[in-house]
Amino acid sequence: MKAVILAAGKGTRMKDLTDELPKPMLSVRGRPILEHIVEGILSAGIQEICLVTGWKAEVIEDHFGDGERLGARISYVRQAVPDGTGKAPELARDFLGGDSFLLTYGDILVQPETYSSMLARFAEKDFSGLITVTEGQDVTKGAVNLFDAKFCLKRIVEKPSAEQVAQMQQDGHLKEGDPVWYNAGIYMFTTDLFRFTEGLEKSPRGEYELPDAINEMLQSGLEIAGLRIAGDWVDVRDQDILKSLK
């Protein structure tokens, strides 16, 4: 198992804080967000990590180097065109070879034991992927996930409108009293994923979106496990959230 961290974005909602720093390098409790993530992944025994960089890439590369300081083996690839999360993992294909991998965004903070829990769930069956979820979030700002009785993914809907959420409730896909599962932004995949990212077309938002590839995987009959995040989960999406973590 290897790991790929998507850390290419500037983070425009951070305004001037990211004029000189990429968003994943903003400080939380005295250390970059990205360092918290790398150390959590290492705690699960995953040592080979590829960082997908872009905006101010040299800041990340200079800070982490080859990873030896942290006990990691870190590689880098640069995303020249920020065209969405669907194509970004493809940049790490040479790094991955045929290995399965953990994929996370570079601004998601969780308890370190989350990564070990993902490994355990992924190993339960011959899954092609795993998706983590949390509850209590506004799914119209992220994605809503629908699961079967075995907590395997049936469908993911990216940034649904309030009307779409209401329709899913009316159709019985979201039942009253049940959790509404929000995409937590940390995954595991086999390299099966790339059969479906290759053919992605841009969404109405003008980006190649990972959920579109995930839905294609499901439609082809591949199984994707679900895992509820235990403990704290934070998407460091804007300045207010960043300040709350100081």
Cα 78 from chain centroid?
17
Question: Phi then psi for 158, rounded to 5 degrees?
Answer: -80, 130
Neighbouring C-beta atoms of residue 221, cutoff 10 Å: 7
* Total domains present in the chain: 1
* pLDDT tens-digit map of 7-23: 998 777 787 778 888 99
Q: Can you tell me the distance from the alpha carbon of 41 to that of 198, in angstroms, rounded to the nearest whole number?
A: 27
pLDDT, tens only, 131-151: 999 997 788 888 899 999 999
Rg of the Cα trace of the chain?
A: 17
- SS3 assignment, position 115: helix
What is the residue range of 198's domain?
2-244
| CATH code of 123's domain | 3.90.550.10
pLDDT in tens, 23-68: 999 999 999 999 999 999 999 999 999 999 999 999 999 999 999 9
Confidence of residue 246 (pLDDT cuts 50, 70, 90): low
Q: Which two tokens stand for residue 104?
A: 């996370």
Q: How far, in Å, CA of 229 to CA of 53, rounded?
A: 26
For the stretch 87-106, what's the b/e string if a residue is b when 16 or more beta carbons lie within 10 angstroms of its beta carbon?
bbbbbbbebbeeebbbbbbb
